Copies of this chain bind each other. A is one copy, B any other.
Amino acid sequence: MARTRMTAAERGEQLVRAAVRAFATTGYAGTSTDDVARLAGVSQPYVIRLFGSKQRLFIAAIDHASARIEQAFRDAAAERADLKSLGTAYERLLAERELLAVLLHGFAASSEPEIGERVRECFGRIYAEVRRLTGADPEQARDFLSTGMLLTVLASMRVLGPDAVPPQPWMSELAAAVKADDTCL
């Protein structure tokens, strides 16, 4: 095997993408470094060699997801700099599912101090970026983010999103309520 040889940097990026996907579905503690390794087609020890530890791999995945989310917001704001535009971008991110899901798993893994610290940093950057890009005041930004959190949680539990479960009545009702929102999203 080992059909293709890459530079360490390329392989690292590929591994970060694989880590985002793996951690997004099974979380920090629930995902083994071997899961990530197999997704990327390399051996498990090599993952550890490149990143030092599982924790650092996870943090790299969080950073990657956060950076891509911020970029999506910047792109949306370049188009039209209001919260509605960013909301549309958020919905597109939600459809991909991975980026927001891995961030949510980061929030949940905050009991690990190094992870908590990084995750607060990322959330703070996103909050600041939302305000900076749209000129929203703290209350508006809070409403935007809280709607985002509900959406992310609903997607995480398969009420919304690509791998959603057959809907119960309350799910359809709540989903409709989410879509009906046009004040900030």
Which residues from 99 to 124 on chain A have a C-beta closer than 8 Å to any C-beta of chain B? 104-105, 107-111, 116-117, 119-120, 123-124
Q: Which of A12-20, A68-76, A156-164 contacts B (4 or more CB under 8 A)?
A: A156-164
The answer to whether A107 and B157 touch across the interface, beta carbons within 8 angstroms, is yes
The answer to whether A27 and B127 touch across the interface, beta carbons within 8 angstroms, is no
Complex Cα distance, B116 from A34, in Å, reads 24
- Contact residues on A (Cβ < 8 Å of other chain), bracket: 35 or more
- Give the number of copies in the complex: 2
**Contacts A150-B146, A153-B107 given: A158-B29 contact, CB under 8 Å?**
no
**A174, CB-defined interface residue at 8 Å:** yes
Q: Which of A38-46, A49-57, A77-85, A136-144 contacts B (4 or more CB under 8 A)?
A: A136-144
Chain A residues proximal to chain B, CB less than 8 Å = 25-30, 104-105, 107-111, 116-117, 119-120, 123-124, 127-128, 138-139, 141-142, 145-147, 149-150, 153, 156-159, 165, 168, 170-171, 173-174, 176-178, 180-181
